[in-house]
Amino acid sequence: MNARDAALLRLDSVSLPGWRVEQLARRTRDDREPDDPRDRALAEAIYVPAVKFHLLLRFLVGHYSGRKLAEIDPAVQKVLSVALAQLRFLTRIPPAVVVDEAVEQSKRFRLGKAGGFINAVLRRATREPDVPRPDESDRRRHVEITLSHPWALYQRIESLIGPHKALRLCRRHNAEPPTIVRLMPGRTIGDLRRDGLTLSSHEQRGLVVVDGATRADFASWANSGIAQVQDPTSAAVVDAMALSNGQRVLDRCCGVGTKTMQILERIGSEGQIVAVDSSTERLDTLNELLRQRGADNVSTHAGKSLAAAGFSGHTFDRILIDAPCSNSGVLIRRAEARYHQSESSLASLRKVQTELLRETLPVLAPGGRLVYSTCSIWDEENGGVVRDALEGVPGIRLVSVETTLPSLAEEARQHHDGGFVAVIERTS
């Protein structure tokens, strides 16, 4: 599969305003990721702005076509969005190539006679690259079109940090996030050096901003115990666990194991980690990393509940619940999440989060510590969940809560994502 088709099918797989999912996948049987790393990188480079600027690109489709969006097949809109993302946000692809590839793509996906329409729309786009966009004098249209943020999301952000900072944060969401790695114990920035990489120290000790690295580089560093990709806010969560050598730890929502490996560094070979996740695919990734690192004191278990994972009768000195959340603190990295911050979505997440915390509290040993964390900045998922889950539970003390708002800094060395950490202890 080529890069443009991969980007299109990935775009087709996510829920975005005005579109249904999988309007194109049924038209092709080839949904594999490109084999060539360069094609995978190009697909990612197209997909990210196509999602981040979804509302802007839909506005441009309407402008260049001279039609209402309701009159244009959404499948055709998706092909146009992939092409417009290249024309507007990628600088190395000749416009004529973008247009021709989009027309050919419409044929591969059997969009009938849409090729002529796509050609006409994109030819106009190449002739009129500077379409006027709403400015701040029309705040709502500026937010929704120019900044491509749902108005309800902007209002939520504004209620937290005020209008000026809210606009800055929305612009920051549209920037390319820096790639930051955490050096593992005993490692230095010199261990990362190779030709083609740009490395600089982050202001948080032990973190390095990396530019020019490949997936293979990151995998090699993680497997070799050199470094792993991790944002400063995420890296600080494990610090709150107050870990020491030999402890028994439950990593309740371990995912692919970024924090699992960080915990392992603190408890040593005498400690033990039970890593639980609902996804066998994520656990497969963690298991491979553990195999590469030769770690034999981590056991992984799949299950949506502790009982399903077979650990309801055990107790733990330390517990981490890195709960699934709205990703509202990491919208710079999770492009599609900006369109899924509705009240109903947050209510569903809050139910899951509260049940996770309530279910896990009984396996915290006397004198033990539980850290509940999210990458959200909304109180419903953070303090609200903690208050609900702890209400009426005896022998439990809430030690601290902290919300970190996403950084507004443009310098990579000062960047950090948003998130939340609550520290809970069992007194008896």
CATH number at residue 77: 1.10.940.10
* pLDDT at 31 (0 to 100): 58
Q: 266 in a domain, yes or no? A: yes
Q: 138 in a domain, yes or no? A: no
* pLDDT at 1 (0 to 100): 86
Q: Are residues 261 and 399 in the same domain?
A: yes
Q: Are residues 366 and 265 in the same domain?
A: yes
Q: 139 in a domain, yes or no? A: no
* pLDDT at 30 (0 to 100): 58
CA–CA separation, 120 and 107 (whole Å) = 15
Q: 143 in a domain, yes or no? A: no
Q: Are residues 181 and 156 in the same domain?
A: no
CATH label of the domain that carries residue 378: 3.40.50.150
Q: 140 in a domain, yes or no? A: no
Q: Are residues 324 and 401 in the same domain?
A: yes
Q: 166 in a domain, yes or no? A: yes
Q: Are residues 327 and 399 in the same domain?
A: yes
Q: Are residues 294 and 357 in the same domain?
A: yes
Q: Which two tokens stand for residue 279?
A: 């996804």
Interval 263-285: pLDDT, tens: 999 999 999 999 999 999 999 99
- Which residues lie below 8 Å from residue 353, measured CB to CB, with a gap of 6+? 323, 324, 325, 374, 381, 385
CATH label of the domain that carries residue 197: 3.30.70
Q: Residue written as tokens 């909304």? A: 378
Interval 88-144: pLDDT, tens: 999 899 999 999 999 999 999 999 999 999 999 999 999 999 999 999 999 999 999
| Final residue before a domain boundary, out of 187, 214, 229 | 229
- Which residues lie below 8 Å from residue 265, measured CB to CB, with a gap of 6+? 184, 185
Q: Are residues 25 and 157 in the same domain?
A: no
Which pTM was predicted? 0.93
CA–CA separation, 233 and 418 (whole Å) = 7
Q: Are residues 155 and 81 in the same domain?
A: no
What are the residue ranges in the chain where pLDDT is below 70?
25-32, 312
Domain count, the chain: 4
Calculate Rg over the CA atoms of the chain: 23
Q: 196 in a domain, yes or no? A: yes
Q: 141 in a domain, yes or no? A: no
- According to DSSP, residue 246 is labeled T
Interval 397-407: pLDDT, tens: 999 999 999 99
Q: Are residues 262 and 309 in the same domain?
A: yes
* pLDDT at 259 (0 to 100): 97
* pLDDT at 29 (0 to 100): 53
Q: Are residues 73 and 32 in the same domain?
A: yes
Cα distances (Å, whole numbers) of residue 59 to 127, 382, 393: 17, 35, 51
Q: Are residues 347 and 375 in the same domain?
A: yes
Containing domain of residue 155, as a range?
148-173
Q: Are residues 236 and 256 in the same domain?
A: yes
| Final residue before a domain boundary, out of 159, 194, 229 | 229
